[in-house]
Structure 1
Amino acid sequence: MNVKFKIVCPLLFIALGIVMPACTDSDDEIGGNDTPPAGALPSAGFEPNNLPDEPYAEDAVLIVAEERYAPFHTLELMPDGSYLLTYNSYVHTSSVRVAANAGGSFSVYKNRKAKVVRAGSVTDENGTVRLPDGSEYGRFARLGDKRYRLGRGVEVDLRDATGADRTVYYRNYDGTVSRVYVSVSEPVVSSATKSLCRTWDYNSFEMWAYWNGKYIVHGKQTVNDGEVDTYFKAIGGDMLGISKEDFLDEDGEQCRKVIFTSVGTYICFYLDGDVEVARWSWTDEAQGTLHYEDSMANEDYDDEWDGYVTVRFAGRQMRIYEDYTYWEDNMSTRVVAVNTLTAAD
């Protein structure tokens, strides 16, 4: 979901509005119409996939602490065996705390051009990732019935989380044990949500741009073994004053892995090591349309960072379709994009 275009397109209006009146011809004549090629738009019907459950699907849960000074704020166990642990602002943690924001597309790019460049995530020797907002991502291990070990030696006992007391026992890395009152969100089990919510390897991003109904740009970035192969073609690029950097970000800012969870979380892992967390929800589940937005837990939460996309499934593959049109002074810019992902092994 590449909302970078919400920043790029107004800039293109300025550039194109200045350049076009003085132009006479170009090696690549602008022409055609704004009809995207086959495969650039979603099919009419939405069909869920039929993939097997991930190995820890029965453990998946979201635990929310109901106490202001609890040692954690939320704990989400994910079907692939990973967890996301967040803290509230009243609790001291040893995590790195710097400005965090999903300021570009989680599934495609981070938009550093729109905000101050921020520090990356920190990964310890056990592979646990401390995110810039102070939260923590890692792998959990089962210790027994509803008991788990997280990163840094933290242990949680969830056996009473859904009982009358609604409590969990949280053993911190320093050995301190806390009894915490919680609320619990169980995974949603609809076929559409089950199809979406898993870990995905990011394969490619392909986009087409149209100015005033004329085709002007085609670009594609493909991720293979941590490397990015980029194709970019601007029709009349010299005449219009546009370049690859207007539409495609640096290789390191390409997503490599995405996790959707059934309680509305999605996480993007970038090639440069950064990790971003945001939110999603269905707007029309029957048609595979969803809304994404910045997470309010992020320290520099941006309520204008959001958008709508459509998903389609075919075997182990998922495609996320985007279609944005922007108008200014009777000029239009349309951007159509397809993100292709494959279910992780």
Structure 2
Amino acid sequence: MSRRGKKPKGRAISGWVILDKPKGLGSTEAVSKMKWLFFAQKAGHAGTLDPLASGLLPIALGDATKTVPFVMDGEKTYLFTVQWGAETTTDDTEGPVVRSSDTRPTRPQVEALLPNYTGEISQVPPQFSAIKIEGERAYDLAREGEIVQIAARTVNVHRLDIVEMGESSTTFIAECGKGTYVRSIARDLGRDLGCFGHVTALRRTAVGAFNEDDMVELGELETVADEGREELDAEAVEAGARARVVDFSGLDEYLIEPEAALSDLYEVALSDEQAGRVLAGNPVLLRGRDAPAFCEEAYATGHGRLVALGSVEEGSFRPKRVFGGRG
């Protein structure tokens, strides 16, 4: 049988799993775990979280992967602790110390600099980051010992406040836009204070429409999966029998609907007839005095689920990406 003729392995489910990623687990590894636990046909995450960091990692399953860009573009909230007195190659605890100082800042000294790090600021990403340099990831080049020149870029930091001030460390809360590195904030603050600094703890608590109330721990999901899993043998799994011998109902209760990622977009509620037309890729005329004549980004719902992403032009909803069934 040709590859094109093969049925996708897994269940055609769609939704978000908002994982409380434990420290030490990579984002890609976390996605693989969720894909296996839910036996999903496809999965992806909305924004990498470093292995040394913990917290909110939104993982999209099935058609929810089509809404990933809207989550990645959303505001993020971090709690992070900066250890003063040392700067490292990685701007966290993973790399060796390259600069050190016996100086320790006071709270007023730190607070006086925070306005410089809020609003629209220019920031140079860490040497060990996922930034691409001539097609290569910066962290791959850095691991090979190469010193790369990473251009500064503009990012938005909406909030940066002190949560706790210790003798040699400070814990901050940051609310920031896409592309912001809190490791860079720690590095640059340390340099401006003349004492150097690096991140020793980092936890993400919000991404886009998702927050701590949505998070679930990996251990809890694994426990629920074990309760719904009958004894499997390798031959059965290889034959694709897993979906028939595992009760996924408990796990599926943790799924958040794909449209939850689209809370900032205009919603078009469709009738059953309109939903059928949109699912076939056709535009539909919107009725009602509150319907906009133009909206660059919108989403349509019908049949009790997300039907399509698209735009409103000249009073009609025009689908761009159509969603299949949840299965």
Which of the five TM-score ranges fits, normalised by the shorter chain? under 0.3
For normalisation by structure 1, the TM-score amounts to 0.21
Give 1 or 2: higher strand fraction: 1
Give 1 or 2: higher helix fraction: 2
For normalisation by structure 2, the TM-score amounts to 0.22
